[in-house]
Amino acid sequence: MKKRYFITGTDTDVGKTHITEALLRAAQQRGLTTLGLKPLAAGAELIDGQWSNDDARRLQAVSSLKLPYEQVNPVLLRAALAPHLAAEMEQRRLTVQSLAGFCRGTLMTHRAQLTLIEGAGGWRVPLNDRETLADLAIELNLEVILVVGMTLGCLNHALLTAEAIRRDGLQLAGWVANCLDPQMSSLEANIQTLAKRLPAPLLGTMPFQSADEAPPPAWLGNRFFDD
């Protein structure tokens, strides 16, 4: 198995990083080498004199291939805003070609059995006046894993995102139900509705948990690793 996927979500704050970490951990438990990348991050904090992003640090820590922070997250914007707005504040210009170049350079020299490239926000997050982060997945020709934040409204968000991925010519390899609301009404019925309507397999259901809890060992089935 040597696979590379782009991780997107139905919105921001739906748990993309948490699910990416969990997939990387599950792969390592099966003896695979892993690498998580966050090519673009908006929102930074100064730690020991270095600006960094929490999501990127988490992916760096959980990957079995240990890379310098700058390779995990080559483009870091300090403001926690939509990337094109954060870039404008710093008088920087984001382009798909530059992000793709960073990714290709890393992927040429570090060949993990499972590489997950996490996006920022949802599928259509703008990078500049013409490009969105979806164009990075298109440029790299990656299959996509969709993280669905299970809250009220998720059916519409998930179906529209899957439709956009398909229209962009990419394959939706699978989706993950991430349970964000422990009190969500008809949770299982919502998951089953998506399982019937989304054109890709349900890879796993992540139960509600606090940010510092480790994923339960049985949340992800073998389907993700079958090939």
What CATH number is given to the structural domain containing 67? 3.40.50.300
Catalytic annotation on 196?
Answer: no
Q: Whole-number mean pLDDT of the chain?
A: 94
For 182, list phi and psi in degrees, rounded to 5. Answer: -65, -15
**Residues 8, 200: Cα–Cα separation, whole Å:** 14
Domain span at 153 = 3-222
pTM score, whole prediction: 0.95
Residue 227 lies in a domain: no
Residue 169 belongs to a domain: yes
Structure tokens at 159: 């179906």
Domain count, the chain: 1
**Which residue has better confidence, 57 or 221?**
57
Cβ atoms of 131 and 139 closer than 8 Å:
no
- Catalytically annotated residue among 2, 38, 66, 196: 38
3-state secondary structure of 4: strand
Name, in order, each residue with C-beta under 8 angstroms of 144's C-beta and a sequence gap of 6 or more.
Answer: 5, 6, 7, 8, 137, 165, 170, 171, 172, 173
Which of 15-24, 36-45, 150-159, 206-215 shows the lowest per-residue confidence on average (mean pLDDT)?
A: 206-215
Residue 51 is given by DSSP the state: E
Residue 207 lies in a domain: yes
Q: What is the pLDDT of residues 73-114, one digit of tens each?
A: 999 999 999 999 999 999 999 999 999 999 999 999 999 999
Is 90 among the domain residues?
yes
Residue 156 resides in a domain: yes
